[in-house]
């Protein structure tokens, strides 16, 4: 588990170093695979973004960014009318006795950081099966920041945003 968080912190620090160049070049896209502990070397490229087919009742950029960033865990359910996305349980190959589930909740039509709420569930496999455990607050914050950063990029690159 410590290796997972070290990996996340290292990826965030390296992405922060490029923040100035990122703000000048809005086509830059954060490499989510740097934080995706389940990706392999052959999965070094991000999957193509899928277009939202269902009209959403929440901010479309936060919705699309949440789907893009959480797809690697497998989407269990999504409801664009309520703004709720739930992933499957996912274990890291390096820590098969721990698993995580993420719920993203989006409220409102505005592109605001406080319109996104991330809930991280963690379970540890013990003698009596899977037992709830407290996830790191850092992990929750990093997932939120990854989604918000992606939503900003989607907004900036949307030629139809004012229509």
Q: Which pLDDT tens digit goes with each residue over 97-152?
A: 999 999 999 998 999 999 999 999 999 999 999 999 999 899 999 999 999 999 99
In CATH, what number is assigned to the domain containing residue 53? 3.30.310
* 163 within a domain of the structure (yes/no): no
Q: Which residues make beta-bridge pairs with 95?
A: 92
Kindly report the number of other CB atoms within 10 A of residue 157's CB atom. 12
Domain count, the chain: 1
Take residue 128 and report the two structure tokens written for it. Answer: 């009596």
* 31 within a domain of the structure (yes/no): no
* 22 within a domain of the structure (yes/no): no
Q: What is the 3-state secondary structure (H, E, C) of 54-92?
A: CCCCCCHHHHHHHHHHHHHHCEEEEECCCCEEEECCEEE
147-to-66, 97, 111, 131 alpha-carbon distances in Å: 6, 27, 11, 28
* 117 within a domain of the structure (yes/no): yes
Q: 90-92 and 129-133 as β-strands: parallel, antiparallel, unpaired?
A: unpaired
* 89 within a domain of the structure (yes/no): yes
Which residues, in sequence order, are CB contacts of 153 under 8 Å at separation 6+?
26, 28, 29, 30
Cβ(133)–Cβ(108) under 8 Å? no
Of 21 and 132, the structure prediction assigns the larger pLDDT to 132
- Full-prediction pTM beyond 0.85? no
Q: Which domain holds residue 119?
A: 49-157
Residue 78 has pLDDT above 90, yes or no: yes
């Amino acid at each position: 588990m410590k290796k997972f968080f070290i990996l996340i912190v290292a990826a965030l620090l390296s992405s922060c170093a490029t923040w100035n160049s990122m703000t000048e070049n809005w086509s830059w896209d954060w490499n989510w695979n740097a934080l995706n502990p389940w990706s392999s070397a052959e999965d070094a490229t991000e999957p193509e973004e899928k277009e939202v087919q269902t009209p959403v009742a929440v901010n479309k950029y936060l919705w699309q960014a949440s789907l893009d960033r959480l797809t690697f865990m497998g989407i269990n359910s999504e409801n664009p009318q309520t703004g709720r996305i739930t992933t499957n349980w996912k274990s890291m190959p390096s820590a098969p006795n721990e698993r995580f589930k993420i719920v993203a909740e989006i409220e409102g039509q505005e592109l605001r950081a406080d319109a996104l709420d991330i809930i991280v569930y963690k379970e540890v496999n013990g003698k009596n099966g899977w037992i709830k455990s407290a996830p790191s607050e850092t992990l929750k914050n990093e997932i939120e920041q990854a989604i918000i950063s992606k939503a900003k990029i989607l907004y900036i690159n949307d030629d139809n945003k004012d229509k």
